[in-house]
Each structure stands twice: as structure tokens, then as C-alpha cells.
Amino acid sequence: MTRALLAVPLLLAACAAPTAPVASLAGDVTPAPTSVTATSLLDAAGPERVVASLPMARPAQPVLTARFHAVLVVDHCADRDLPAPPTTDAALTVLDRSYALAAGYAPADLVAASAAGLTGSSGTKLVRSVILDDLAAMREAWVAAGLTVIVESAYRSYASQAVTFNGWAARLGQAAALLRTARPGHSEHQLGTAIDVTSPGWTGRFGDWGRESAEGAWMAAHAWEYGFVMSYPSGSLAATCFGYEPWHYRWIGREAAAAQRTSGLYLRQFLERYVGG
């Protein structure tokens, strides 16, 4: 989400479960006791820089349990800060321009992506431990296919997202920035289950990485097999409130990703089925 600005305005777009109850997503978070906390992995001067990596038990993958109890706002493209609706698993949280995470929310199980076998700068990015097995399997598939996929961004704190958004607002103006990137609290990166990916030689947002690079095309065709879904595909602006982002993938688990693909729904529409409870 920090690449150079696209030349085509219509392509401007957007771009963070703790062991505590999911209802705490919208409020102050007090993680349940664990052998390591998110803050122990982060340097105070650089909130997304790894300074330690300790082993911890990995949470189970999300279980799909349709709720239909909560009625979400219809005009979710309106910019406001409603608490993210509760779900049975934080990995299925609905975030958009209306629903947001609390400023203090951070997953309790953040680890370096190097734990999934990623190397170089990709390995320094922070992700939730629950995605490690699938991320490692996907990395192995990249290698087997002769591809090089680089993780440019993963977990971002509320404060880090504020810096990103304010930078674009200063550069483009508030209205254009709202189409270009999510306001703090509204970014899927704060969940710790979203990644931005690219490949060697691909810079900026000119062209279509998802169709014009071998790595992007592979991700579009196969990422779902490992639980990763493209959050903002082409043509989804009206439903997602953000433009096409072929580099932004969010992990929701293999079962959920397969169900979402079969449903034909965009990710946000699909996640509406699992709010409430």
C-alpha cells in the first residue's frame, strides 16, 4: 500500500484473532495471558520492526458459523468510525469505511514472517501466527513454480496506518486519499492477516500486477487454495468502497476462502454472513 501513485484515478484504492473475546475488537484490548505478547515483538521506536521472535502455540483456523444476527449499515462507504461487529473469529472481521478496529487493538500472536520460511525483507514483516502454516505452504508453492513473491507489507498498527493515510492526504488531498488508502482503524492490515505482495522488477502501480506478472497471475489463480483472498478485486468498488488492488490479500482460512470463491461474493459481502453472535 505504499507504492507510487497510479496514473489512472479509478484504480486508486485502500490499502489488522487475539485470544481475547472477539467483542474486544472495537474496544480497548487486554490480550489473554500468553507466552509472548505483540508488544514484546515490536520496537517502541518502530512499531512494525521485529526485535524478537519467540515460539508460541498457533490458534486454530476459523470455523464458519453463519450468524445473520447483526444487521450492518447499508451505506458502508460512508466515512465514520463504528465498532467492528463481533464475529466468532477475528480473522472474519468486517472492516470497511464505516466499521473500524479500536486504536489500541493489536493481535496477541504476532510473529515474524520468517517463521513461515520467508527471507530477506519479507521475513521481517509481522503476521499472526495462525497464518504461518498456510503462508509457508504458499511460499513453497511459489518456489516450486519458479516464482519470487515479495511481501511488502503485513501487520500495521493503528499509528502506522495513520502515518500512511496522512501522507497520502497531504499529497493528494483528503477526498482522493479516502479512495487511495484506508483511514486508521479501517485497514485490514491491523488484523495481522493481510499482506501486500509484489515481485522483482515490479514497481509502482502502473499496469496490472495481477495479470501482467507471473507472480500476480499465480496469486490471483491460487492464493485462495492457501486461505488468502484478494480483498479488492477488479470491479468491486461499489461493494468494497475501494479500488482494485491486485497485490492485497487477506487470510481467512482455507475453508472460508474456498466457500467465498464458490459463493461468487466479494470478500466483504461474504463476511457479512458471519457477523453477530
pLDDT in tens, 146-169: 999 999 999 999 999 999 999 989
Q: Is residue 170 part of a domain?
A: yes
Q: Give the pLDDT confidence score for residue 69 in this predicted structure.
A: 61
pLDDT in tens, 84-113: 998 889 999 999 999 999 999 999 999 999
Confidence of residue 127 (pLDDT cuts 50, 70, 90): very high
- CATH number of the domain that 159 lies in? 3.30.1380.10
Q: Is residue 104 part of a domain?
A: yes
Q: Give the pLDDT confidence score for residue 36 in this predicted structure.
A: 32
Rounded CA separation 272/158 (Å): 23
Rounded CA separation 2/168 (Å): 9
Question: Residue 197 corresponds to which cell in the numbers above?
Answer: 505482495
> Given 3-state DSSP classes, what are the helix, strand and coil percentages for the chain, each rounded to the nearest 5?
40, 15, 50
- 115: DSSP letter: G
Question: Residue 185 corresponds to which cell in the numbers above?
Answer: 482503524
Q: Is residue 91 part of a domain?
A: yes
Among the ranges given (38-47, 176-185, 212-221, 235-244), the one the predictor scored with the smallest mean pLDDT = 38-47
**Which residue range(s) make up the domain with 227?**
16-53+67-274
Q: State the average pLDDT for the chain.
A: 82
Q: Is residue 2 part of a domain?
A: no
Q: Is residue 59 part of a domain?
A: no
Rounded CA separation 243/239 (Å): 10
Q: Give the pLDDT confidence score for residue 179 in this predicted structure.
A: 82
110 by DSSP, 3-state: which?
Answer: strand
**Cβ 30 vs Cβ 104: under 8 Å:** no
Q: Is residue 48 part of a domain?
A: yes
Question: Does residue 106 or residue 204 have the better pLDDT?
Answer: 106
Question: Does residue 13 or residue 16 have the better pLDDT?
Answer: 13
Instruction: Give phi and psi for 164, each to the nearest 5.
Output: -60, -50
pLDDT in tens, 29-69: 333 333 233 433 444 334 465 544 445 567 778 878 766 56
Could you please report the per-residue DSSP string of 189-246? GGGT-EEEEE-TT--TTSS-HHHHSHHHHHHHHHGGGGTEEESS-TT-HHHHSS---T
- Considering its fold, how many domains does the chain have in total? 1
Closest by Cα among 236, 233, 257 to 246 = 233
Question: Residue 221 corresponds to which cell in the numbers above?
Answer: 489463480
Q: Is residue 178 part of a domain?
A: yes
Query: Is residue 194 scored above 50 in pLDDT?
Result: yes
Q: Taking residues 109-120, report their average pLDDT.
A: 97
Q: Taking residues 111-135, report their average pLDDT.
A: 97
Among the ranges given (46-50, 130-134, 191-195, 220-224), the one the predictor scored with the smallest mean pLDDT = 46-50
Among the ranges given (66-70, 113-117, 187-191, 255-259), the one the predictor scored with the smallest mean pLDDT = 66-70
Q: Is residue 11 part of a domain?
A: no
Question: Does residue 80 or residue 176 have the better pLDDT?
Answer: 80
Q: Taking residues 185-201, report their average pLDDT.
A: 95
Among the ranges given (45-49, 54-58, 133-137, 198-202), the one the predictor scored with the smallest mean pLDDT = 45-49
- Give me the torsion for CA of 39, 45, 47, 51, rounded to 10°: -60
Question: Residue 33 corresponds to which cell in the numbers above?
Answer: 495471558
